[in-house]
Structure 1
Amino acid sequence: MADARTRVECMMYDSILQDTAWTPRNSTSFPVEQPLRQGHTARTGYLPERTATNASGRDLAAALDAEKAWARVALDTISDAVLTIDLQGTVTYMNRAAETLTGWSQPEAIGAPLSRVFPLVDGKTHQTAIYPGRRAIEENRTAGLALDCVLVRQDGSKLAIEDSAAPIHDREGRVTGAVIVFHDASQSQVMLERIAHQAQHDALTGLPNRVLLTERLSRALGLARRHRHLVALLYLDLDAFKPINDSFGHAVGDSLLQAVASRAQECMRDIDTVCRQGGDEFVILLAEIRRPQDAKRVAEKLLAVLGRPYCIQGHELLITLSIGISLYPDDADDEDTLMHNADTAMYHAKRNGRNGHHCFTAEMNTRPLQRRRTEPGLHPPLQPSQYVLDF
């Protein structure tokens, strides 16, 4: 709202949204004609100065007209609704967004009282609300709309809005009216929800990202401590995923990751979380299990389901997985250690032949592994004609 108001206030309302008259220079600046004496012709030396002054006035008027036209186009392109009123509360301007939200057309609204074009009621009491435009004029300051205000549109329907108003000043600093900027409040909520979703979900697969996984893991551990049940983390890595990108391109690789994500979600319960950790790595949170064997069964199911062939853009692809498993409270009692141990177990599974799962043991920390983004000894890039990858 502040950005929209700043854009509007920068439009010089005193000259753009109100009629501006050009005042010519003082007449004393023009030479006074002298009486003609017999035998003398009239002197017209003052004409060039007067012509130049008139031309200057025409240029100024043309510049103001161009400025008004530019401002109106700019105001019609922004998403915020804009209304202006004079000191009597009469509508003097509205942009297209204001027409859409109020249901009034500009020709109908111009000259009508604000209370008719922009009727506001309290969303809870349904009593008439105080107009921020009137407050902006009377107090000569920016005024916001009270919470839960509802706009009654021309057809009688109601719309929750958010708005603020600022006074309009002339060149001498006198208040000449107010500008009201408003928008659909539901759109603000939608935008906030969209931003929150983007901050907590992976853009490619739509799965929860590490931020949301950390939050859910912390909550799951808290419940596990209280109710004395187990929590498991499964760390998944697609074996030799890089050759798929190298051979078929990133578009095919991205589609494969999306297909893997979809299948993994289908294997899980509603209380579990499938997270894309990054690249070709996924983490699955089993929020509540009874025995360690439950996590192993889920890992075996994932190996079977995700190992079925994928048809991606006309190519039939096969992949395998390496899965590491860590348990609360057996292997760790905090989020970071539990994640680290699942990651360590996954690399042991990869070193021991891949296409399998491995549970964390304390001995793994005495045999550190060198993490590598690409395993040694991989096959060279395949030709596009080789549609089946089986590692």
Structure 2
Amino acid sequence: MSLSWTQVLLVENDADDAGLIRAALSASPGNGSFNVNWVRCLADALERLEQEAVDVVLLDLVLPDGQGIDVFDRIFRAAPDALILVLTADSDEETARRAVQHGAHDYLPKEHADAYWLPRALRYVTDRKAAEQVLRTAEETLFEEKERSRVMLESIGDAVLATDLQGNVTYLNAMAEDLTGWSRGEALGQPLAQVFNIIDGTTREAAVNPALRAIEQDRTVGLAMDCVLIRRDGVEAVIEDSAAPIHDRHGKVSGAVIVFHDSSQSRAVTERMAYMAQHDYLTGLPNRLLLMERLSRMITLADRHHKQLALLFLDLNDFKEINDSLGHIVGDQLLQSVAKRLTECVRASDTVSRQGGDEFVILLAEIEQPQDAVRVAETLHTALAEPHLIDGHEIHIGLSIGISVYPDDGNSVTTLLQKADMAMFHAKSGSQDKQRRFRIGMSSRAGLHSRSPRQ
């Protein structure tokens, strides 16, 4: 059976005390389960913590190069995940208590640092820390699941309303607030019939409460046809959808959820979904699907009008470093700022699309000559040279641009995109903030480099 080693860093200036502690741990039951490294001063401890991770720090707060709570604070910053147990003499007990307030797991008088008490103290606090970590992980998992559910409910296009067994409102999402005219704070605890006031659109009589039907029958039920919801302000809307029972962990019905929507908005929702399927959610730019459709159409028009067209494949230089250092929120805002500048640099008849990540593709419709695309690329470099002011940060970011021209570089959508991508890769492999026109031979040279597949 393999041993579970606990890596211990002992920070103790007194050699006699250090010897007793090391002997106590080596002689403890479990025989060798503690691997102890001893240093005598703060500087050596910090150096050791920088080099390797430890499970436990046994820390004397009186050292040659530091004393008191400052010693603990520096060790804690260097090893925030380690379990720190302060070793103290009677005269230092008040300082040890302060260290516990600052984040130490506990303190132990040195006179108890024998082969009986010290190993037990270490195992107690390590087991306690492990239990706390399990609890934290469970809490984080539960929070993430609840947050995921909340975001999903707030994001969907349908209104969602929940009740308890007594028919009192326990939840509304934002869409339900909008359709009923009740805010969540006002609606919680109110009888469902008051918040979800529905009538038969033909007879104008009160409609059967769908939540109570779902609870009584313990099944999903549909709303009656021609059901009208009367908002709090008296405005009426024809609604449709269903109600379903909510079950607790034992399978018993504990309430009901109603999912509904304004049927007059169905067409608008359909149009919105179609738009979202063809546009990037972050920037609002056309996505790859819409770009391919427009490129195919523009090729046909270019042939008809005896014109050329160009694709510019753009990649932001050093975006990953900016995103990692400043965070994804700043990174998203930077992508939005870049998208706005790119759009301002081209004509209304051109298409600026986001391919995903930090890549954009611009379709220049009906150009006279390839040099027109080069001039647009130079305009883009100039526009991106100005810093982006985002959340208090002045961010500089450049472009690598690859250019392909129809019909010189290909006569199909796929070929033009591939060649613009190859040219961009060669531009990026050379000096920064440059553009390259595709030329014969790029394919074989680009093939020497391994690149991750693009979305």
TM-score by length of 2: 0.46
Q: Does 1:115 align with 2:170?
A: no
| CA gap 1:95/1:326 in 2 versus in 1, 3 angstroms | farther
The separation in 2 between residues aligned to 1:231 and 1:159, in whole angstroms, is 52
1:256 aligns with 2:334: yes
Q: In 2 relative to 1, CA 240–77 (structure 1 residues): closer, same or farther, beyond 3 Å?
A: closer
Return the alpha-carbon distance in structure 1 between the equivalents of residues 296 and 260 of structure 2: 40
Q: 1:357 corresponds to which residue?
A: 435
Q: Does 1:224 align with 2:302?
A: yes
> For residues 310 and 76 of structure 1, what CA distance do their matches in structure 2 show?
41
Q: Give the superposition deviation at 1:369.
A: 4.4
Instruction: Return the structure number with greater relative CO, CA threshold 8 A, min gap 6.
Output: 1
Separation in 2 of the partners of 1:69 and 1:350?
60
Pairing partner for 1:241 from 319, 328, 339? 319
Seen in structure 2, the aligned counterparts of structure 1 residues 248 and 163 have a Cα distance that, compared at 3 Å, is closer
Cα distance, 1:258 vs structure 2? 1.4
CA shift for structure 1 position 362 = 1.8
2:144 is aligned to: none
SS of structure 2 residue aligned to 1:311 = strand
Kindly provide the CA deviation profile for residues 256-311 of structure 1, in whole angstroms up to 9, marking residues without a partner as x. Answer: 11111111111121121111112111111112222212111111100100111122
- 2:313/2:421 contact within 8 Å kept: yes
User: What displacement does 1:328 show?
Assistant: 1.1
Change (3 A) 1:164 1:356: closer
2:441 is paired with a residue whose SS is: helix
Runs (5+) with no aligned partner, structure 2: 1-159, 180-191, 207-221, 243-258
Q: 1:265 aligns with which of 332, 335, 343?
A: 343
Q: 1:339, CA displacement in angstroms?
A: 0.2
User: Does the CA-based 8 Å contact 1:272-1:287 persist in structure 2?
Assistant: yes
- Deviation of residue 201 (structure 1)? 1.8
> Aligned partner of 1:280: which letter?
D
2:366 corresponds to:
288
Write the distance in 1 (CA, Å) between the matches of 2:430 and 2:448.
14
Larger radius of gyration: 1
8 Å contact from structure 1 (residues 345, 359) kept in 2? yes
What is the Cα deviation at residue 208 of structure 1? 1.5
Q: 1:318 to 1:114 in 2, by over 3 A?
A: closer
Q: Percent identity, aligned pairs only? A: 48
Give the 3-state SS of the residue equivalent to 2:436 in structure 1: strand
* Contact persistence 1:323–1:358 (CA under 8 A): yes
d(CA) in 1 for partners of 2:270, 2:324 = 38
What does 1:163-174 correspond to in 2, within 5 Å? none
Matched with 1:331 is 409
Q: 1:219-266, CA deviations, whole angstroms, 9 ceiling, x for partnerless residues? A: 212222333221211000111222212332222222211111111111
Structure 1, unaligned runs of 5 or more: 1-6, 9-67, 82-93, 103-108, 119-141, 166-180, 375-391
* Equivalent runs, 1:1-391 vs 2, <5 Å: 70=165, 72-73=167-168, 95=193, 99=197, 114-116=202-204, 161=238, 183-371=261-449
Q: Distance in 2 between matches of 1:252 and 1:75?
A: 36
| Deviations 1:36-93, CA, capped at 9 Å, x for gaps | xxxxxxxxxxxxxxxxxxxxxxxxxxxxxxxx97374479969599xxxxxxxxxxxx
- SS of 2:352 mapped into structure 1: strand
Taking a change above 3 Å as real, the CA distance of residues 292 and 150 of structure 1, as seen in their structure-2 partners, is: farther
Alpha carbons of structure 1 residues 72 and 335: separation in structure 2 relative to 1, 3 Å: same
How large is the RMSD of aligned CA atoms in angstroms?
4.3
Alpha-carbon contact 1:237-1:322 (below 8 Å) kept: yes
CA contact (8 A) 2:426 2:446 kept: no
